[in-house]
Structure 1
Amino acid sequence: MSSILTNNGAMVALQTLNSINSDLSKTQSMISTGKDVASAKDNSSVWAISKVMESDVAGFKAISDSLALGESTLAVASEAAETVTDLLTDIKEKVVSAQEENVDRDKIQTDIDALIGQVKSVIGAAQFNGLSLVEGTDDVNVLSSLDRASDGTVTASDITVSRQDLSTSAGTYGSGTSLAANATASDTAVANTANTAVVTVGNTWAADDVATLSVAGVDVSFTATGTAVADVADGLAGVINGLGLEGVTATGNGDGTLTISSTNAFEDIAVTTGETTAGDGDVLITALNGTTGLTDTSGSIDERAESVAFSTSAAVKEGDGYKVTVGGSSYNYVAGKGESMEDVARGLKTAIDSAGLDDISTTVSKDADTGQWSLKVDNDGSSLAFSVTGNEGGEASGGLFGLDSIDVTTNAGADAALGNIETLINNSIDAAASFGSAQGRIETQSSFISNLTDALTSGIGSMVDADMEEASAKLQALQVQQQLGVQSLSIANQAPQTILSLFG
C-alpha cells in the first residue's frame, strides 16, 4: 500500500544515512586526532586507564629532571673529592720530604700552607645550584621513582645521597648523655717513667756455666767465671747494654738481680730467660712492670705510653664527642655520621697532635685478637694528668679536621703530620668512593626511568591511538556508502510522486 502521509522507504533510507554519517564523523575524528579513544564517551574504561598512565608519564618526566639535577650535583661533589685527594697526596709528598732534618722545613711549610688553601678553595666552590655535598652531614634525597600500588596508591621513592663533610671544622663538643663508659684510660697520669723487668739469677753456679737471655728478640749469653750470682747478673747487664737496643738499658744490682728498663713509647719489649749449660743456675723474671713475686721464664716490658681503649661493642652516632685531657688542656673530637671507634681514635690523635705539644707523641692501634681500637699517648717529659670522657649531642668535626694544623717545622710536627695526612687522604678517598657509588645508582635509575617512560607511552598508544591504515580504508568506504545513502533517500522521496499519475 502506498501512502502520501507515511514514506517508510524514506525513513529507512534516512536512518541508514544518519548511521553512515555518524560512522563517517567518528572516522574523520580518528584521522584528525590520531586517536581511537579521544574522550571518555568513546570508551570510558580505556580512557580512564590511559589518563592515569599519562599522568604517570608526566610524573616520570619530572623525575628525569630531578635525576639529572642530582647527577649534576654529584658530579661536582665527586670532582671536588677527587681533586682534594690529589692535593692531599701532594701535601703528603711535602710531609715525607720534611722527615729529613737537613732540609728547609720553613719553605716546605710554605708550600703545604698553599696547598691547604687550595683544598679549602675547592671545597668552598664545590656546589651546584647552591647545594654542596662536601660540607655538612645531612643526607640529600633525590626523587627517583613514583610507585603505584595495586589499590592505586602512589608513593615517591628517593635515592639517598650521603653528604661527605670535607671541611676542616673542629666541631662542637656536646653536653648530652655521658659516653664515659665507652672509653677507658690506662692510668691517671702519663709520664716518661721507664717500665722494667727484674731478672733474678739464683741457685748454684759454677765456672763456665752459661746463662742465656733474649731481649727484644736478640739472644744474649754470659759465661760464669765463678760461683757468684751477682757476677752473672752484672755480666748479663753488660752484654745487654752492649747491644745498643733503642730505649733499652740494663743495670746489675749487685745482689744477683738485674733490672732491664725500657723507655720505648709504643713498643713492648719481650724478655725470655734461659737455663745454664750446666749446674742448677736458674734465671727467672721475678718482677715485671711493677708486679713482683713472679717466677716466669718469659714476659714483656710494657710500652711506656698510656692508652685510651675504646669499646668494641658501643655504636658511634653522629654528634658523639670524646675528650682526652693531658695536663691542664683537653682535646676533643666529635664523630660524624657513619663513623666508628677507629675514626674517634684517629680524630683524637689529630686533635692532640694539632696542639703541637712538646714531649707529647701519639699513635693509634688495633688489637689483633679483640679488634679493640686504642689511642696511645706518650710523654717524654714530667708527669701530666691523663683522663678521657665523652658526651652525646655535639656537632660533628669535619672530615679534614686537623689539616689546618699540619706543621712540619719541627721534628715532632713532621712525625705527627705523616700519620695524620694518611687519615685525611683516606677520608677524602672514602668520600670520592661514596659519591661514585651514588652516581652509579642515579645513572642506572635515570636510564630505567627513560626506558620505562617509553614503555608506558607505547602502552598508552596501543590503547588509544587510531589505526590510520584501517581508518583511511574505512573513510573511503563510508564516503561511498554516504553517496549511496543520499541516492537511496532521493529515490525514496520520489516514490510518492508516482501516486499523482493515478489522478491524471
Structure 2
Amino acid sequence: MASINTNVAAMTALRSLTSTNSALEQTQNRISTGLRVNTAADNAAYWSIATTLRSDSSSLSTVQDALGLGAAFVDVAYTAMDEAKNIMTKIKDKLVAAAQPGLDRAKIQTEITELQSQLKGIGDAASLQGQNWLSVDSAAAGYNASKQVVSSIARAGGTITVQSISINTSSMIMFDSNAAVAGVGIIDAYRDGTTGVRHATQPATPAATDFRLSDINIGALTDSTADLATLDGYIKGADRAITEMTAGATTLGAAKARIEIQQSFVSSLKDSIESGISQLVDADMNAESTRLQALQVKQQLGIQALSIANSSSQSILSLFR
C-alpha cells in the first residue's frame, strides 16, 4: 500500500542514518581525544579504575620528588662527614707528630685549633632546607634522630598508605648543642682519657682525664710520662672518632643506595601504571581511522537511501494527472 502519511522506507532509512551519525560522532570523539573511554558514560568500570590509577600515578610523581630531596639530604650529610673524617685524620697525624719528644707542641696546637674550627664549620654547614643531620640540638622540640624519606605509596582494599625509608642519624652526629648533656656527638662528647672511648652517657662531672676532641689542647704538654699518656689518649680518641665517622658515612652510603634503588622502582612502577591506564582507556587509532572511513561511506549511502525513500512519495502525484 502506498501512503503519503507513513513512508516506511524513509523511516527505516532515517533510523539507519541516525545510527550511523551517532557511531560517526563517537569515532570522531575518540580520534580527537585519543581515548575510547573519556567519560564515565563510555564505560563506568574502566573510567573508575583509570581515574584511581591516574591519581596514584600523580602521587608517585610526588614520591619521586621526595626521593630526590631525600637523596640530596643524604648527599649533603655524606659529603660533610667524609670531609670531616679527612680533617680528623689530619688532627690525628698532628697528634702523632706531637708525640715526638722535643717538638714545639704549641705550634702544632695552632694547626690543630684551625682544624677543630674547620670541623665545627663543616658540621654547621651540612644543612639543607633547614635540616642538619650532623650538628644538632637534641633538646629542640620535635627533634628525632630517625629521619624519614617518603619512598612509595601502597593501595590495599581501597586504602592508600605512605611508605618511608628510615635513616637513623644517631651514629653520625658530630656536634650536639644540648646543654643538658654537654654534647654527645663524635666531636663534642667526653671520652675516656686512657682509651679514647666515647662515654655512652655523658658524665655530669667529667673525670680530670676526660677530654673532648672539640677542645683538646696540647700546647702546654711536656715530655713527662703523665703528659705523654694524655697525648696517647688524645691519639686513641681521634682514631676512634675516625672509626665512628666511617660508620656514620657507611650508614649514609647504604641509605643513598637504597634511595637510588627505590627511585628506579618508583619510575618503573609509574611507567607500568601509565601502561595499564593506556590499555584501559586509549583508543586504537588504526582501528578508529579505518572505522571512520567506513562510517563516512555508510553515512553518504544513508543520505542517498533517505533521499530515494523521500522521493518515492512524489510518484503518487502522477496518479492524479
The answer for the alignment partner of 2:146 in structure 1 is 139
1:59 and 2:67 correspond: no
Q: Distance in 2 between matches of 1:154 and 1:169?
A: 39
Residue from 494, 500, 503 that aligns with 2:311: 494
Letter of the 1:424 counterpart: A
The answer for the alignment partner of 2:320 in structure 1 is 503
**Deviation at 1:407?**
2.1
Alignment of 1:316-395 (within 5 A): 350=191, 353=193, 362-363=194-195
1:290-318 deviation per Cα after TM superposition (whole angstroms, max 9, x unaligned): xxxxxxxxxxxxxxxxxxxxxxxxxxxxx
Alignment of 1:424-503 (within 5 A): 424-503=241-320
Large movers: runs of 4+ above 3 Å? 168-171, 333-336
Q: Distance in 1 between matches of 2:249 and 2:235?
A: 22
The 8 Å contact of residues 76 and 127 in structure 2, kept in 1 or not, is answered as yes
1:254-308 deviation per Cα after TM superposition (whole angstroms, max 9, x unaligned): xxxxxxxxxxxxxxxxxxxxxxxxxxxxxxxxxxxxxxxxxxxxxxxxxxxxxxx
The verdict on how the C-alpha distance between 1:408 and 1:88 changes in structure 2, with shifts beyond 3 A counting, is: same
Letter of the 2:318 counterpart: S
The answer for the alignment partner of 1:152 in structure 2 is 158
Residue from 174, 186, 211 that aligns with 1:166: 174
The answer for the alignment partner of 1:85 in structure 2 is 85
1:19-58 deviation per Cα after TM superposition (whole angstroms, max 9, x unaligned): 0000000000000000010111000000000000000000
Alignment of 1:272-311 (within 5 A): none
**Deviation at 1:495?**
1.1
1:18 and 2:25 correspond: no
Structure 1 residues without counterparts, runs of 5 or longer: 174-332, 337-342, 354-361, 366-373, 376-389, 395-400
Q: Distance in 2 between matches of 1:421 and 1:171?
A: 23
1:184-225 deviation per Cα after TM superposition (whole angstroms, max 9, x unaligned): xxxxxxxxxxxxxxxxxxxxxxxxxxxxxxxxxxxxxxxxxx
1:410-463 deviation per Cα after TM superposition (whole angstroms, max 9, x unaligned): 124322211111121122111111111110111110111011101110110011
Q: Distance in 2 between matches of 1:101 and 1:499?
A: 134
Q: Distance in 2 between matches of 1:99 and 1:391?
A: 28
The 8 Å contact of residues 408 and 417 in structure 1, kept in 2 or not, is answered as no
Q: Distance in 2 between matches of 1:88 and 1:488?
A: 94
Letter of the 2:22 counterpart: S
The 8 Å contact of residues 85 and 245 in structure 2, kept in 1 or not, is answered as yes
Q: Distance in 2 between matches of 1:54 and 1:416?
A: 62
The answer for the alignment partner of 2:45 in structure 1 is 45
The 8 Å contact of residues 35 and 465 in structure 1, kept in 2 or not, is answered as yes
The verdict on how the C-alpha distance between 1:335 and 1:89 changes in structure 2, with shifts beyond 3 A counting, is: closer
Residue from 406, 412, 416 that aligns with 2:216: 406
Q: Distance in 1 between matches of 2:195 and 2:44?
A: 75
Letter of the 1:487 counterpart: Q
Q: Distance in 2 between matches of 1:416 and 1:44?
A: 75
Identity over the aligned pairs, expressed in percent? 39
The 8 Å contact of residues 168 and 402 in structure 1, kept in 2 or not, is answered as no
The 8 Å contact of residues 88 and 241 in structure 2, kept in 1 or not, is answered as yes
Q: Distance in 2 between matches of 1:468 and 1:423?
A: 68
Q: Distance in 1 between matches of 2:52 and 2:123?
A: 45
Q: Distance in 2 between matches of 1:105 and 1:140?
A: 42
Q: Distance in 1 between matches of 2:177 and 2:237?
A: 15
**Deviation at 1:391?**
10
**Deviation at 1:404?**
1.9
**Deviation at 1:101?**
1.5
The verdict on how the C-alpha distance between 1:168 and 1:22 changes in structure 2, with shifts beyond 3 A counting, is: closer
1:134-169 deviation per Cα after TM superposition (whole angstroms, max 9, x unaligned): 1335222111111000x1111110111222311165
Letter of the 1:134 counterpart: L
SS at match of 2:145: coil
| Structure (1 or 2) with the greater helix fraction | 2
Q: Distance in 1 between matches of 2:292 and 2:214?
A: 81
Structure 2 residues without counterparts, runs of 5 or longer: 137-143, 205-210, 222-226
The verdict on how the C-alpha distance between 1:489 and 1:170 changes in structure 2, with shifts beyond 3 A counting, is: closer
Q: Distance in 2 between matches of 1:168 and 1:84?
A: 15
Q: Distance in 2 between matches of 1:12 and 1:18?
A: 10
Letter of the 1:498 counterpart: S
| Structure (1 or 2) with the greater strand fraction | 1
The verdict on how the C-alpha distance between 1:171 and 1:2 changes in structure 2, with shifts beyond 3 A counting, is: same
**Deviation at 1:170?**
7.1
Q: Distance in 1 between matches of 2:43 and 2:50?
A: 11
The 8 Å contact of residues 66 and 142 in structure 1, kept in 2 or not, is answered as yes
Count of residue pairs brought into register by the alignment: 296
1:212-242 deviation per Cα after TM superposition (whole angstroms, max 9, x unaligned): xxxxxxxxxxxxxxxxxxxxxxxxxxxxxxx
The 8 Å contact of residues 30 and 466 in structure 1, kept in 2 or not, is answered as yes
Tell me the TM-score normalised to structure 2 length.
0.86
SS at match of 2:47: helix
The 8 Å contact of residues 407 and 417 in structure 1, kept in 2 or not, is answered as no
Alignment of 1:203-282 (within 5 A): none
